[in-house]
Amino acid sequence: MTGRAPRLLDPDHRLLVVGIVALVTVVATEAMAVSTVMPVVEDELGDLWLYGWVFSGFYLGTLVGVVVGGSAVDRVAPLGPMLAGVMIFVTGLAVGGLAPSMPVLVVGRVLQGLGAGAVPVVSYVCISRGFPAVLRPKAFAAMSTAWVVPSLVSPLVAAEVAAGVGWRWVFLGLIPVTLLVASFALPALRTVPGPDAAGDVEGGPQSRRAAPASVALLVVGVAAVLGGLGSDVVWVGVPIAVAGAAVAFGPFRRLTPEGTLRAARGLPAAVLTRGVLTFAFFSADAFVSLALTSVRDTSTRFAGAVLATASLTWTVGSWTQARLSEAWGSARLVRTGGSLVATGCTLLAVSLSGAVPLPVWFLAAACKGLGMGMAYPQLSVVTLAEAPAGQEGAATSALQMTDMLGIVLGTGFAGVVVSVGDRVASGAWVALAIVFGLAATAGTTVALLGQRLPGRRAALR
């Protein structure tokens, strides 16, 4: 008995892993459902110009939640920050569901993002402090799996809820579900200890905790970049975007490990690679449906099936990396994952041609999702392995921050390309080919950055 290897669902870990997965599932359900009902929301509330900010506001709020949550969990046990995140998330659901106007809905989405941002970063620290190193890849795979069912079911359920009882219940209906999940998930976090004294060494990484001013400047800068990118007037939008990037540059450096921008070996490279990876995947994924319906003239159901394929293979990749983690090591898995994402995005660009059979889209999505599943959790493993003792929250908040930045900037840049293509009447396929090409380039960059990561020993620490 004493020689048996620990298992993820052993009594010592069972409640904690189930609680974490349940909380992540609730957040994922809300995130995946909103895009489905937004056309109905806009019909009722108007203010089409704020349509994009319903999504941008969520991710900017998530950015703040990630950084502040990571800072908090470096000072106290995880239960308090997770409870605060859940309560803010529930408040955001109430504000969104009762919103009388689009600006109020945007406020609700920001609150939802604030709460949602705290959930994964606190969960990462729970995995670091509550699981032995050998189980961490499997725990991260379980977290990735928590996104699968929502990605397949949430859009369909949200459409039915909106048609049956109204779009507001997409938000309001999740409130009792969230509270129910929290009632059994939060007590499991009581077993996870707080930071030890090693994290309080003066002058160490602890000094890099998120200052409120840095977080505020980062959000303002990113918001300016998004606003500039979305401007129809180029000579106004470009300077705004450049100024926003300049404002965000300093806070980004302060909130990430030293050497992140130059991909210094180890933790800094892992943090940077995560942002490039999400840029690659989500910049392409956000426009798969548009490409299929507008260029290849398929139905939205077909597009949904293609997107679901990527979600399913992401899960396959997550469990694959968990099995191969000790044998292959993080560097090899991330290099392989980046190469698969690049291959999938290249196939997407090629498949815009009518000469390419439609089933190739499923192959492209499968490659892209499998690559994400293999690389994404391993970057978390490296981050926790390389983080100084007691500073897991700061490290994981930096990882999650670049994660969100990759999504926001990836979809933002892709949107600009598509918008410019529409204005110059170049044909949708040209702009989308550029989008998928940029995503493939980012995937290739991930494969190259993987060489800056440690190998097998990082997964075994």
Q: What's the whole-number average pLDDT of the chain?
A: 81
Give yes or no for a contact between 189 and 16, defined as CB atoms under 8 angstroms apart: yes
Task: Please tell me whether residues 349 and 447 are part of one structural domain.
Answer: yes
Q: Would 133 be classed as within a structural domain?
A: yes
In a shared domain, residues 390 and 292: yes
pLDDT-derived band at 362, boundaries 50, 70, 90 = very high
Q: Kindly state whether residue 237 falls inside one of the protein's structural domains.
A: no
Q: Are residues 180 and 310 in the same domain?
A: no
Quickly tell me which residue has 């200890």 as its tokens. 193
Asked if residue 167 is part of any domain, the answer here is yes
Residue 182: half-sphere exposure toward Cβ, Cα within 13 Å: 21
Given this model, what pLDDT does residue 262 score?
92
Residue 346 in domain:
yes
- The answer to whether residue 221 sits within a structural domain is no
- Domain-embedded: residue 65: yes
Q: Find, among 7, 284, 20, the residue nearest to 127 by Cα.
A: 20
Which of the listed residues 184, 204, 219 is the one where a domain comes to its end? 184
The C-alpha atoms of residue 147 and residue 138 are separated, in whole angstroms, by 15
Q: How far apart are CA 384 and CA 121, in angstroms?
A: 11
Query: Where residue 15 falls among pLDDT bands split at 50, 70, 90?
Result: confident
Give the domain-ending residue among 122, 151, 184.
184
Query: What single DSSP character describes residue 323?
Result: H
> What is the model's pLDDT at position 366?
96
CATH code, domain with 308: 1.20.1250.20
pTM: 0.74
pLDDT in tens, 134-186: 777 777 777 767 777 777 777 677 777 877 888 899 899 989 988 998 887 78
- With the CA atoms of 221, 227, 229 and 235 taken in that order, what torsion angle do they form, in degrees rounded to the nearest 10? -100
The domain of 76 spans 10-184
Task: Give DSSP secondary structure letters for 269-322.
Answer: HHHHHHHHHHHHHHHHHTTHHHIIIIIS---HHHHHHHHHHHHHHHHHHHHHHH
Same domain membership, residue 424 and residue 300: yes
* Contact present, 431 and 89 (Cβ < 8 Å): no
Same domain assignment for residues 284 and 422: yes
- What amino acid occupies position 321? Q
Does 149 lie in the same domain as 20?
Answer: yes
Is 93's pLDDT higher than 90? yes
At 208 the pLDDT is 43
Q: What is the rounded distance in angstroms from the CA atom of residue 157 to the CA atom of residue 28?
A: 13
| The pLDDT value given to residue 167 | 85
* pLDDT tens, position by position, 208-265: 444 567 777 888 888 888 778 767 777 778 889 889 989 999 889 888 898 999 999 9
Q: Are residues 289 and 436 in the same domain?
A: yes
CA distance 424 to 178: 46
Map the chain to HEC letters: CCCCCCCCCCCCCHHHHHHHHHHHHHHHHHHHHHHHHHHHHHHHHCCHHHHHHHHHHHHHHHHHHHHHHHHHHCCCCCHHHHHHHHHHHHHHHHHHHCCCCHHHHHHHHHHHHHHHHHHHHHHHHHHHHHCCHHHHHHHHHHHHHCCHHHHHHHHHHHHHHHHHCCCHHHHHCHHHHHHHHHHHHHHHHHHCCCCCHHHHCCCCHHHHCCCHHHHHHHHHHHHHHHHHHCCCCHHHHHHHHHHHHHHHHHHHHHHCCCCCCCCCCCHHHHHHHHHHHHHHHHHHHCCHHHHHHHHCCCCHHHHHHHHHHHHHHHHHHHHHHHHHHHHHCHHHHHHHHHHHHHHHHHHHHHCCCCCCCCCHHHHHHHHHHHHHHHHHHHHHHHHHHHCCCCCHHHHHHHHHHHHHHHHHHHHHHHHHHHHHHHHCCCCHHHHHHHHHHHHHHHHHHHHHHHHHCCCHHHHHC
- Do 330 and 460 lie in one domain? The reply is yes
pLDDT of residue 140: 74
218 alpha carbon, distance to own chain's centre: 17
For residue 99, is it within any domain?
yes
* Residue 426 or 441, more confident: 441
**Does 195 fall in a domain?**
no
Are 105 and 46 in contact, with CB atoms under 8 Å apart? no
Q: How far apart are CA 199 and CA 389, in angstroms?
A: 6
Q: Specify whether 286 is located in the same domain as 417.
A: yes
Q: CA 244 to CA 220: how far, in whole Å?
A: 7
How far apart CA 325 and CA 332 sit, in angstroms, is 9
Secondary structure of 358-388 in the HEC alphabet? CCHHHHHHHHHHHHHHHHHHHHHHHHHHHCC
Contact present, 414 and 289 (Cβ < 8 Å)? no
pLDDT score recorded for residue 272: 96
Q: How many domains, in total, are found in the chain? A: 2
How sure is the predictor about 197, in pLDDT bands with cuts at 50, 70 and 90?
Answer: very low
Do residues 81 and 72 touch, judged by C-beta distance below 8 A?
Answer: yes
pLDDT tens string 432-450:
899 999 999 999 999 999 9
Instruction: Determine how many CB atoms are found less than 10 A away from the CB of residue 171.
Output: 26
Same domain for 152 and 260, yes or no, is: no
Could you please report the per-residue DSSP string of 64-99? HHHHHHHHHHTTS-THHHHHHHHHHHHHHHHHHHT-
60 and 140, same structural domain?
A: yes
Where among 184, 203, 226 does a domain terminate? 184
